[in-house]
A and B are shown apart, each in its own frame.
Chain A
């Protein structure tokens, strides 16, 4: 009896977690029916993105796992927490800039940083740098759009990322930040 209920609960959880994926899968099926060539093209992009994900994500997850286990919370607070000042800002930029992978890969990193009580504005800086000043992408940008274009975009993005972090810090209340950190600790 109990086992059965458990099974059903598990299935329900599974469906809930994969609902978004299942919907997109159905949409892809529909696309194949109505425009087969577009369906093939979509599959091409999906396979490509999936490969990229499998290539890029493993070392990032291993590194955040190691960080979570080895670096004590106190150390991370000292380096990037409240009162870490310019040191914390620079480290957030550094982490984001040397990162690889799309912006979504930064979210799990942000979670670990929250668990370690890294300052909220520094996490927003990490996200910004991860998106806009990522070094590997910058090299790509230079070859495609020119040295000047990439360099000016990098230069203007440093203050822009700081402004975003400052605004977010001002707009999100302390207790909301605390609630988010508590949620992160449970993930």
Chain B
């Protein structure tokens, strides 16, 4: 729900700026739209591949499998596995969060869930080819490695605080 509202808001902002731009200069607006189209064309081939790859992975890795991997186990192994699953996959938030909630109900610990959510957001193995194309290999690898390491720290921090709080 919140997502749709935000998306609508971004459309509204884009449309308002587009109208202002059009009033100020037709020529520049045309140029901007052309640039927008070109960036989209640029990203499209890889994006299609990524979307298909994610579909393939999620078809084999459903909620039950994920909860088997990180649900019952605790400790560092569960955290590492949760981080690995979060790093490799690219699950849209609307699927990821309900899944995470289910896992929590299913007995997974806060640390594992936090590791899963955090790596999902910060580390993207399937999008690494894209990141390399836009930056370079060193930047892409370093950013993901650092993010992965810190994600585990974040997971323990959240787990610790939430466990103390209760």
B59 A42 Cβ-Cβ under 8 A:
yes
Chain B residues whose CB sits within 8 angstroms of the CB of A33 once the complex forms: none
Task: Choose one: A18, A61, A140; the contact of B36 (CB below 8 Å).
Answer: A61
Task: List the B residue with the shortest CB-CB distance to A138.
Answer: B2
Please report whether the interface of chain A is mostly helix, strand, loop or mixed according to DSSP.
helix
A31 to B90, CA, bound (A): 19
Task: List the B residue with the shortest CB-CB distance to A136.
Answer: B6
Min distance, Cβ A16 to any Cβ of chain B, angstroms: 9
Interface assignment of A88: CB less than 8 Å from any CB of chain B = no
Interface assignment of A1: CB less than 8 Å from any CB of chain B = no
Interface residue total, chain A, C-beta cutoff 8 A: 82
Interface assignment of B53: CB less than 8 Å from any CB of chain A = yes
A99 to B89, CA, bound (A): 21
B121 A23 Cβ-Cβ under 8 A:
no
18 extra interchain contacts, Cβ-Cβ under 8 A, other than A21-B45, A25-B52, A46-B54?
A18-B48, A28-B56, A44-B55, A49-B55, A60-B14, A65-B36, A65-B37, A100-B6, A131-B121, A137-B3, A137-B97, A139-B2, A143-B97, A145-B100, A149-B114, A152-B158, A168-B139, A171-B142
Interfacial residues, chain A to chain B (CB-CB below 8 A): 17-18, 20-21, 23-25, 27-28, 31, 38-39, 41-46, 48-50, 52-53, 55-66, 68-70, 98, 100, 102-104, 107-108, 110-112, 124, 127-128, 131-132, 134-137, 139-141, 143-145, 148-149, 152-153, 156-157, 160, 163-164, 167-168, 171-172, 176, 179-180, 183-184, 187
